[in-house]
Structure 1
């Protein structure tokens, strides 16, 4: 009996130690993934992997930008005309962005029409210059907020994947309306910016001055996108790694991957919305287009599929189709 009890204690201790080591290991992995995906200062990060070309689904993006003369003109315009603006978020964080004035004597140069343009993951407002330039040429004033953890807001906490940024977007819009109660506002975003626009569309407090929203290749939820990238970058399944990373994100960034859902927000949306996606997008899977579109409760909604376009390349792949569709949608609701 004594031997049996001693053996039981040893087995219990060994099992307990293995469980403890497993939990510690999972905790380490969870924190590593949060740093990898969300810490803009991390030495080993998704941003560095994307920049080195080790992430699939982004092929051709640098080449397309280099060959785009319009983008070069837009970049020069952005650098020459941008003015710094700031917004104090509800948590007291001061966030920075850029404002650019629209052209005079254009269709929307009445001084009350705005385009709020949101950039992508590990990007910055400058990346969206060609979109901003297009809207400014139409006469719109343009606001380009930088997301938390990006550009001049790099020290404003961990990257929020568009989720807290969507709540911040409500505040940026309130700033516009406070200065111009007659403002008519369009929301526009690509990739993470597209998610941000979709998430904001169903939030309480979205101003009635927002007349329409256009999202390009946004993801259904942060959880869904990280499932894709966990397999894409590491070749790993989501369980249990993403679950512990989710818990670490809640502790460190204040949100969970599952709660950060564009699909759930879209179920509360009422603003007219245009959904755009390239059918060769592997970074944010093309299948997410239909999920978002079907979830959207807006009575006025449209979708555009751009054949042959990879991630974030729809406007470069078929500019005539892209801008013809966007401008027609804007003309109906702005």
Structure 2
């Protein structure tokens, strides 16, 4: 009888240890997924300098207007507007990724300036000077982009030719927005993931922690309780399948953050006749433009020209 009690206590102890372990792993994953430390301007500018992409003379010459909108859940969201082509109705919104500072997107100001676009760089919720506590992997961010589009149209009092250029999480935000907003004429999807769940699964596969399904269930539960949305709501692939907006897919084949296969999968499942894809050899996450600036700009120009 005593032996049975000891076995029972031991089993119970093991179960409690495992439960505590799973809880800790899911909490670590949750904190990393939604509250990771954000990068600042200095960090991103130094990164661009290392990549040879920081043009200080050009950036200093720009007339940049700080703008702001209020999100649907009452967050003050910041943006930075460059209207070098005030006579034009062409606008592009540049959307950064998770933990990134908007300044990482600054090389693309000139890329689109040369194409005759006015440019709006946005600071996504819970990043930079924008309010918010956590990211939603494109779910709420896509709704914020709808409001930025409304802001631009109300400002100009006319119908605009609007494109979205997103990197990483910004790519997911842009795809989801573009698939559901007919005002968006094109999307550049640069190193984005096919779904938040698949991205978490990929990140988790590189660890030696416990079973993904169990940890994911807890992570999703915490996300729903603490953040008010479910991870499955951020699903760019699901959105592209129901959308006809032209998409230019870009990815590096050496991307260790978001697997290149996600990009190829979205492109192939779409079969959009106006879509294009550029896979850059040797490029890691966010580095496609650094590795192949001429090819990137050439294909972007062709992509936009075929839409108009």
Matched, 1:84 2:78: no
Q: TM-score, normalised by structure 2?
A: 0.86
Structure 1 gap segments, 5+ residues each: 52-60, 104-108
Aligned to 2:50: 66
Which of residues 150, 158, 179 in structure 2 aligns to 1:202? 179
Alignment partner of 1:122 is 2:106: no
**In the alignment, which residue of structure 2 is the partner of 1:296?**
270
User: Corresponding residue for 2:76?
Assistant: 94
CA-to-aligned-CA distance 1:221-265 (integer Å, 9 cap, x gap): 112112222233x34352322332122122122223333111111
Task: Report the 3-state secondary structure (helix = DSSP H, G, I; strand = E; otherwise coil) of the residue aligned with 1:115.
Answer: strand
Mapped pair 1:164 → 2:140? yes
Measure, in 1, the Cα distance between the counterparts of 2:263 and 2:52: 26
Q: Residues 181 and 223 of structure 1: is their aligned pair in 2 closer, same or farther, counting only changes over 3 Å?
A: same
Structure 2 counterpart of 1:136: 113
SS at match of 2:303: helix
Paired residue total? 303
Cα 1:90/1:268, change in 2 over 3 Å:
same
SS in structure 2 of the partner of residue 240 of structure 1 = helix
Selected match of 1:312 from 283, 286, 301: 286
Q: Secondary structure at the match of 1:95?
A: strand
User: Which of 162, 166, 172 lines up with 1:189 in the alignment?
Assistant: 166
Deviation for aligned residue 1:159: 1.9
Question: Aligned equivalents of 1:17 and 1:140: distance in 2?
Answer: 63
Structure 2 partner of 1:151: 128
Query: How many Å apart are 1:10 and its aligned residue?
Result: 7.5
Pairing 1:238–2:212 present? yes
| Cα distance in 2 between the residues matched to 1:158 and 1:74 | 33
Report the Cα offset of residue 71 of structure 1: 4.1
Deviations 1:128-164 (A, max 9, x none): 00102221233321111111221112x4121222322
**Normalised TM-score (structure 1):** 0.80
SS in 2 for 1:150: coil
Structure 1 match to 2:33: 37
